[in-house]
Structure 1
């Protein structure tokens, strides 16, 4: 008869100690079922008040585990609702029933990190196997990550989870204000990734320096997707040159047209810090820029557009050295607030 193992937990969030425990358990049975057993509403109310990381429902944690163990066909991942009503015995009974129904096969091994964990409810053949997270390379717990912040334990968090925890900093402003150079410098300064704006790439592929109306939403969406890809490679913080509202502002200025699709893309954005670069440095003609002395108008329009969308900004003006100093100070404060 095949051996069927169960390892359940909240994994809120998943860390490398969890992964190490699952790896070891997976070597002891023919099939290992990893169950994210949680009550999302209870967790949100009781575990995440004052937490220094966002709350991710069980569906996200299920996805993280499936991604980590995608090359392990005998490791099966499920998310199961385990109610927390205050009646521990009734809740445990309901949770066991939901888990056994989900697995649909006799459980022979129950893995846990607790001495004396109750396993009888899973059947007479269930053997309790004590398996501790590997505390040597990963001295961390989900509770500590929640209370102290993810950045303090960055090396102990799987890459797939880091992508959801990395802090995203975007640089905005009218044309020729040094956004690209500052974004690249900040990425070098913090040893991380930078996403450059997508407009030049689109025009280069089109073999044209002039925009058409349809280009603007294409640029906004291409940029949004580039940010999504880059966050998985970033270390603690990701720097982004330009975002959808800047593109919308160009559409308004150049075409006289506000595009609803770009507004919808802007609503998907969740930047942690917005650095605003005003037009107080010389304008440089790179062959694609058109505003020149009209940057002040573009500046005023962009500020209005950002305010309409409720975007809070940090002003980064002055000479190029001062801009770097101001930006670094703002980013340091962001990271310190997240448990750097």
Structure 2
């Protein structure tokens, strides 16, 4: 039988890490039911909804609720405590029997809830990590983060370009380059272009009915492209959850907007809406110049390569995306790409500071 009927864990979870999850799991082991209260201030750069979703995914058996708390903490000021408690009890109005915390204020928080305080690993010996440490250096704390948080923090680099311009070659080379750095980077992944897989399936389906069909006989419809974009996004998300702090994508849902122009003509708002659902951080545009066209059975647009390169360049610029154009030999293109990715990674991860606390 568990000791407490209803337990509470309260925190910013900015962002959540292994120490937080250890605290929640310890509380769940001792409580018949557990509420996790996620409190976020408006000045913080990770939305409250994201933090709540992350905690719910990791702890599906707990009740996870969120509250906006824009009150600065002063553990010495009873009036400030009263203001915080008004936020806390509005979010968790039912009786609380135990408050689990790793913070020094846990005893006072429990007293104000009329609950028993339970201190869990205050010295961070089980998981030597903190929210401050994650915000300062996510890469050093990567293994303390759950898949959903890693996916949100992963720097996503897209390689895009016209047909037969080396996007797949460059994507694979970049992933291998960063894997060789070892540590968390050894898990660096590349996401293949789903549009190509879709094209192969489309040609195979046509040949099932017409064995002599060729690529030029395949017809795309505008409805194909929202599906391609959505699957591309889903596969990127899955790869980001298990990979390193950088992910390389052989095209993306944004590129699908231009491929729609190429095969169907015009725009499709559903594709563009899908393309805006994922945050990418850098685009590498592969120039067609100096790359021989290779017809692999799924290509027929050699004469369109200059137009495609121009359209990608124009759309990237129009939408304000950060990009670098890669040209020259395979070695030159890889060197240019690595320099651009290293520059992206060197800028780090920016988190707005939380509200200051007076101890």
Where on the TM-score scale, by shorter chain, does this alignment land: which range? 0.7 to 0.9
Residues 29 and 312 of structure 1, relative CA distance in 2, 3 Å threshold: closer
> Hey, what's the Cα distance between the residues in 2 that align with 1:287 and 1:189?
29
Instruction: Give 2:199's aligned residue.
Output: 203
> Hey, what's the Cα distance between the residues in 2 that align with 1:264 and 1:136?
45
The alignment status of 1:120 with 2:107, answered yes or no, reads no
Instruction: Give 2:128's aligned residue.
Output: 139
Residues 81 and 274 of structure 1, relative CA distance in 2, 3 Å threshold: same
The alignment status of 1:155 with 2:143, answered yes or no, reads yes
Instruction: Give 1:4's aligned residue.
Output: 6
The alignment status of 1:311 with 2:340, answered yes or no, reads no
* Helix, strand or coil at the partner of 2:170: helix
| 8 A Cα contact 1:274 1:312, kept in partner | yes
Instruction: Give 1:240's aligned residue.
Output: 249
Pick from 241, 262, 278 the counterpart of residue 271 of structure 2.
262
The residue correspondences of 1:1-340 to structure 2 (distance < 5 A) are 2-38=4-40, 40-41=41-42, 43-44=43-44, 55-70=45-60, 73=61, 75-84=62-71, 89-115=78-104, 117-118=107-108, 119-123=110-114, 126-133=115-122, 135-136=124-125, 138-146=127-135, 148-191=136-179, 192-206=188-202, 207=204, 208=206, 209=215, 210-214=218-222, 215-280=224-289, 281-338=291-348
| 8 A Cα contact 1:17 1:134, kept in partner | no
Note the residue ranges of structure 2 that are not aligned, 5 or more in a row: 180-187, 207-214, 350-359
* Helix, strand or coil at the partner of 2:24: helix
Per-residue deviation, 1:314: 0.9
Root-mean-square deviation (CA, aligned residues, Å) is 2.4
| 8 A Cα contact 1:273 1:313, kept in partner | yes
Residues 2 and 120 of structure 1, relative CA distance in 2, 3 Å threshold: closer
> Hey, what's the Cα distance between the residues in 2 that align with 1:255 and 1:6?
55
Per-residue deviation, 1:190: 2.5
* Helix, strand or coil at the partner of 2:262: helix
| 8 A Cα contact 1:18 1:133, kept in partner | no
Range moving further from structure 2, 282-291 or 323-332: 323-332
Residues 141 and 217 of structure 1, relative CA distance in 2, 3 Å threshold: same
Instruction: Give 1:48's aligned residue.
Output: none
Per-residue deviation, 1:307: 1.7
Per-residue deviation, 1:137: 5.1
* Helix, strand or coil at the partner of 2:322: coil
Structure 1 length-normalised TM: 0.85
Once the two structures are superposed, what CA deviation does each residue of 1:225-281 show, in whole Å capped at 9, x if it has no partner? Answer: 222232212221111111234333233234332223222233334211111110121
* Helix, strand or coil at the partner of 1:27: helix
Instruction: Give 1:51's aligned residue.
Output: none
